[in-house]
């Protein structure tokens, strides 16, 4: 798992998708793509202004490009990103599960819409409850708290007809 990568400011979402597909392919499907909205400490270094949380949520929503994992060329023109004929060349048999870092109701809503898993680094049950409130079928957390920096993974159930839901890394 990448833990959390921001596919919006420092790294372009198409580049993140290619790297995720490569990691999933090389790890024989044992890779989970962790995404988040970034943090000023790491993202401001590219010289762009630091957007507000709501704008970063919009950017993340636009950056989760599951269509790239279906093969073929993808064209996209959006508010924050545009590209023509993007293609992920080497795809794993199954797309890597996507997890989204959460910290409150807005990011939990976003994770519920976009992700197979949520990642929370704060031992606050309300974020799990907010994720569950999005209506995404979930199973109990698959990790217990060992320290303030140990993430909690909550996996949603596989959608009817899909091959699998995301799963946390082994041992978590």
pLDDT of residue 142: 45
Is a pLDDT exceeding 80 seen at residue 164? Answer: no
| Mean pLDDT across 85-110 | 92
Question: Given pLDDT bands bounded at 50, 70 and 90, which one contains residue 137?
Answer: low
- Do 167 and 157 contact (CB within 8 A), yes or no? no
In terms of Cα–Cα distance, which of 42, 90, 81 is closest to 58? 81
- The tokens for 112 are 């519920």
Is a pLDDT exceeding 60 seen at residue 154? Answer: no
Q: Which residue has the higher pLDDT, 148 or 126?
A: 126
CB atoms within 10 A of CB 30: 13
Give the 3-state secondary structure of residue 11.
coil
Give the 3-state secondary structure of residue 120.
strand
What's the whole-model pTM score? 0.77
Any idea where the domains of the chain sit in the sequence?
1-96, 103-161
Nearest 5°: phi and psi at 105? Answer: -60, -40
- Assign 3-class secondary structure to 142-159: CCCCCCCCCCEEEEECCC
- For the stretch 48-80, pLDDT in tens is 889 999 999 999 999 998 999 999 999 999 999
């Amino acid at each position: 798992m990448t833990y959390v990568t921001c596919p919006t400011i420092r790294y372009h979402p198409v580049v993140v998708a290619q790297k995720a597909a490569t990691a999933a392919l090389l790890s024989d499907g044992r890779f989970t793509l962790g995404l988040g909205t970034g943090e000023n400490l790491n993202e401001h270094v590219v010289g762009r202004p630091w957007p507000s949380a709501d704008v970063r949520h919009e950017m993340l929503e636009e950056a989760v490009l599951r269509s790239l994992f279906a093969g073929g060329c993808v064209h996209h023109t959006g508010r924050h990103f545009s590209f023509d004929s993007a293609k992920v060349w080497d795809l794993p048999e199954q797309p890597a599960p996507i997890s989204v870092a959460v910290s409150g109701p807005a990011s939990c809503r976003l994770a519920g819409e976009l992700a197979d898993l949520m990642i929370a680094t704060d031992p606050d049950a309300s974020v799990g409850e907010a994720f569950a409130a999005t209506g995404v079928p979930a199973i109990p957390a698959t990790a217990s708290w060992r320290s303030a920096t140990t993430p909690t993974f909550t996996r949603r159930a596989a959608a009817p007809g899909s091959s699998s839901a995301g799963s946390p890394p082994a041992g978590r």
